Amino acid sequence: MGIFGKANKRTVQNGATVIAQGTCIIGGITTEGSVHIDGKFEGVILEADLISIGKTGEVIGDIKANNLIVSGLLDGKIDCNEVQILPEGKVIGNMKYNELIIEENGKFEGQGIRKGSKLESRYDEVENKINNIILSPAHQIKHDQNS
């Protein structure tokens, strides 16, 4: 899917902001258009329709956009409707999304939360039961007798 997928079907009235390879920008960008990063960006990008991070691109910061496509590296907080991590793309951090696509050899490390999800984990409940079994008084008595 990638860059030529669903993200390019919409018409963007605003132009594209491009951060070329070899360029480093520290700061913030607010645009209703698209942002393509082949260089390095540290900061905040808000309200963008599409953010694409090329293979040589590196972003460290907060991202809020409609669509995000990552071929390079993104380290930070992400709030996007659709996130695509392409082969060799790396995302580290906390992510809120509606749709998440991780292609083969794409990597995500962090915490992801689907917006509006009704799913609830019961892991804490089960973990407490397990801990009560392991740390039960009968177990403690046997352990103390063996000492």
Q: Each residue of 126-147: pLDDT tens digit?
A: 888 888 877 665 555 555 555 5
Judge whether residue 5 has pLDDT over 90: no
Judge whether residue 75 has pLDDT over 60: yes
Enter the pTM of the model. Answer: 0.76
Instruction: Report DSSP state, residue 12.
Output: P
Query: What would the pLDDT profile of 36-62 be if each residue is shown by its tens digit?
Result: 999 999 999 999 999 999 999 999 999
pLDDT, residue 11, reads 42
What distance in Å separates the CA atoms of residue 102 and residue 125, rounded to the nearest whole number? 30
What distance in Å separates the CA atoms of residue 32 and residue 37, rounded to the nearest whole number? 16
Judge whether residue 78 has pLDDT over 90: yes
Give the distance, in angstroms, between the CA of residue 69 and the centroid of all CA atoms in the same chain: 10
What distance in Å separates the CA atoms of residue 95 and residue 115, rounded to the nearest whole number? 10
C-alpha distances out from residue 120 to 79, 82, 93, 123, 124, Å = 20, 22, 21, 9, 11
Mean pLDDT of 67-85: 98
Judge whether residue 4 has pLDDT over 70: no
Longest CA–CA separation in the chain, Å: 76
Question: Coil, helix or strand for 13?
Answer: coil
> Residue 20 is encoded by which pair of tokens?
């070329």
pLDDT, residue 137, reads 58
Judge whether residue 25 has pLDDT over 70: yes
Confidence of residue 13 (pLDDT cuts 50, 70, 90): low
13 or 106, higher pLDDT: 106
What distance in Å separates the CA atoms of residue 52 and residue 2, rounded to the nearest whole number? 10
